[in-house]
Structure 1
Amino acid sequence: MKKRTLVAMLALSAILAACGKNEPSQPAATGAAAPAAAVTKIVVGLDDNFPPMGFRDEKNELVGFDIDLAREAGKRMGLDMEFKPIDWSAKEAELAGKRVDMLWNGLTITEQRKEKIAFSSPYMENHQIIVVLASGGIKTKADLAGKVVGAQDGSSAVDAINKDEVVAKSFKQLKTFGDNITALMDLSAGRLDAVVVDEVVGRFHVAKKSEEYRVLEENFGVEEYGVGLRKEDTELLARLEASMAEMKKDGKAAEIATKWFGKDIIK
């Protein structure tokens, strides 16, 4: 190699090395995730044909005890509560699929449901009562043998009936309905002999037609109502528990209960 060529190559290498040292550093990666937006709205799933817990009034507006309770809790949590009617028999799927964020509509706390969803502390007790026609001859649970009994599909009434295996097996048929009002209409029409229903709902309707319906002294057991959430929503559950405790302490929950039931039924 010629001396002149060698000198030129060395000079070029020096220039390139110097340029490499002076190159600006590459900008930092910008793939970091942006902080999640704060939650401001909660979608509450409910059965809109479940008075007095949640139903539509003469103006077709959603009203009820649980709706008033949820609105007050949401206000204290700084959250807007949107109420969404759903197929109550598919409530767990609606919650898991994140189409709703809470189930708040006379939801009974059961061990089976605890496997899929998280529950708030119970806020009221309920019984599964037996409603029959006042003109009929059914006086006891034993009289239901050979009879057609109705209940809401996917409700805790069905679970309560099935727990009492002896009585349940004595039925001619256990017929399920999309809602309790339809079941009670079938009772009035003579297509059913009895309806097993949540006490808060059953007595609401019986009071309206006391000459037509009668409630048996026996029932299918005591249960508790709670609010259902996804198991991973631990922070939301903690905020809900705090707001409900505050509402019980300052008397707001009792005020809402008295509005709908004439007395404080809050647990």
Structure 2
Amino acid sequence: MIGICLLLFGCGNSKNEKNQTDATKEIEKSGKLVVGLDDTFAPMSYRDNKGEIVGFDVDLAKEVGKKLNLKIDFQAIDWAMKETELNAGNIDLIWNGYTITPERKSKVAFSDAYLENSQSIIVLKKSEIQTKKELAGKVVAAQQASSAVDAVSKKELATFKNKELIEFPSNNDVFNDLESKRSDAIVVDEVLARYYTKLKGADTYRTLEDTFGKEEYGVGLRKNDKKLKMKLNEALKELKSDGTYDKIYKKWFAE
């Protein structure tokens, strides 16, 4: 543990202690950072044909690890439990297209924003839906505990069928529900929408011009890990200034 390991109580459970004080020294001593992510969120982080976790956030995290001289361990988690996993000490960072929102700021600390995004509305190519207003009376779905859920206002939600947003554990489930025509439309991150459209072809999906708002991605940390936050921000700035960020961006987002 950091500094003196309280002798009166012994060293205790290191996972629980991580949330009690700045765990940066402990992390540096272990030589690794545990990154929690959703392994179905392409192209930010997902499993390739070999079952390996790849993606934009994965490559970026690895480069930050090099800057910090730390090994990055990627751990797939239940996205609905991400803040709980972080604050319990099971992971050290939430790094997976994690949108910065006021509600999340009450639970975690955020790095500087590193990527812009928006909440896109996706329908099947032949759908008659053309605008956000036309979602009235329709079945709309999204991933549970995602920023898509937060982006839909109560007023907008009240217009959906049964006045609800259908929620699924993974983004794969969300897209499958749309393809099966159980949902009329889905709300997902723009980066994910672009990836699936490219993967399935423009003849499968159509993205509406309307969105549920713009947002920014950041890395989530425990609020006590102030030194880690400072070092993480410095590393991200260096990657942008030395051209590494642009190379990773081009790899994953080139049209």
Residue 167 of structure 1: how far off its partner (Å): 2.1
Structure with the greater alpha carbon radius of gyration: 1
Please list, as runs of the form range in 1=range in 2, the aligned pairs for 1:66-105 lying within 5 A after superposition: 66-105=57-96
Displaced runs of 4 or more, over 6 A: 31-37
Cross-structure match for 2:15:
none
Residue 207 of structure 1: how far off its partner (Å): 1.8
TM-score w.r.t. the length of structure 1 is: 0.83
Please list, as runs of the form range in 1=range in 2, the aligned pairs for 1:162-173 lying within 5 A after superposition: 163=153, 165-172=154-161, 173=164
Q: Choose from 175, 180, 184 the match for 1:193.
A: 184
Q: Does 1:117 align with 2:81?
A: no
Structure 1, unmatched stretches of 5+, are 1-30
Please list, as runs of the form range in 1=range in 2, the aligned pairs for 1:28-67 lying within 5 A after superposition: 38-67=29-58
Cross-structure match for 1:222:
214
- Name the % identity: 48
Please list, as runs of the form range in 1=range in 2, the aligned pairs for 1:20-31 lying within 5 A after superposition: none
Would you say how many aligned residue pairs link Structure 1 and Structure 2?
Answer: 231
SS at match of 2:72: strand
Checking the alignment, whether the CA contact within 8 Å between 1:52 and 1:204 is kept in structure 2 is yes
Query: RMSD of the TM alignment (CA)?
Result: 1.7
Q: Distance in 1 between matches of 2:74 and 2:46?
A: 11
Q: Distance in 1 between matches of 2:37 and 2:111?
A: 16
Please list the CA deviations of residues 14-61 of structure 1 after superposition, one character each: whole Å capped at 9, or x if unmatched: xxxxxxxxxxxxxxxxx6999968241110000000000000000000
Amino acid at match of 1:84: Q
Higher RCO (CA 8 Å, separation ≥ 6 residues): 2
Amino acid at match of 2:254: G
Q: Distance in 1 between matches of 2:218 and 2:170?
A: 20
Q: Choose from 233, 237, 249 the match for 1:245.
A: 237
Q: Distance in 2 between matches of 1:179 and 1:159?
A: 16
SS at match of 1:215: strand
Cross-structure match for 2:203:
211
TM-score w.r.t. the length of structure 2 is: 0.87
Q: Does 1:139 align with 2:130?
A: yes
